[in-house]
Amino acid sequence: MRSAFKTTVLLGALTGLIMLIGGLLGGHGGVEVAFVVALAMNFFSYWFSDKMVLRAYGARPLDESNAPELYSIVHELAQDARIPMPRLYLIDSDTPNAFATGRNPNHAAVAVTRGIMRLCTREELKGVLSHELSHVLNRDILVSSIAATLAAVVMMLGSWMRWAAIFGGLGGRDDEGRGGLELIVMAILAPLAATLIQLAISRTREFAADASGARLSHHPLYLANALRKLEMANERMPMIDATPATAHLFIVNPLRAGMFSRLFSTHPPLEERIRRLERMAV
């Protein structure tokens, strides 16, 4: 409930940012156009993102015959969660990682890398897969799509504000001698604020998936132990094919770590994630 409330507040902040920009631009017409365009883009992403991302990573289907242990774990978890058995995929990468996608439990897919199958024990895999199924149960794909839609609107409006400032602003605020400056400031700050809010939403959903995943597996330390292994392995050997656009899907950040990337990471600090899981185990 706490994470759901925080997510709602952050989505409200994005909406408020859009309304503020609309006021600066002198009306709601442009905001409505930007919203419709962003909504159309993310509607397509929401319905087809699973196929797109699986194709992007060259994932191939798995079944009980060629991945009996993985199938057994996911089947058990799906039964406990009372959802249909999700589709399973393998990504041919030695970097250990995993992600789930799909707009709802009836259209879910779980992808694992070859590396995670080699690195993690059965118990640790159960912790990881519980986390991934929790993303599906929590409708996180829908939440991230809504956040992406609102953030995209802000980005579009920020671009419009830059052009408006160059060509003298929109509406009558420049007559007072300050509209152009306001547009320039907002054009710089609004996209940054939207990005930070979207990252905060992603991190909140990661914490929520950790918690609900730990409850689903009944052993919080399964996931905590797996996270330690995955973080060390990904720092040593980042996934070559990973992109910033899809990094948020993975259970740990697949990109090379650095001060800047940590600041704008879609994942919360590993130490805090493990600390929360260890508290659940007490």
Active site residues: 132
| Nearest C-alpha neighbor of 26 from the set 164, 185, 177 | 164
| Identity of the amino acid at 80 | D
CA distance 15 to 25: 15
Q: Within a 13 Å sphere around the CA of 115, how many CA atoms are in the beta-carbon half?
A: 18
Q: Could you give the angle at which helices 179-217 and 140-166 cross, rounded to 10 degrees?
A: 170
| Identity of the amino acid at 165 | A
CA distance 226 to 214: 12
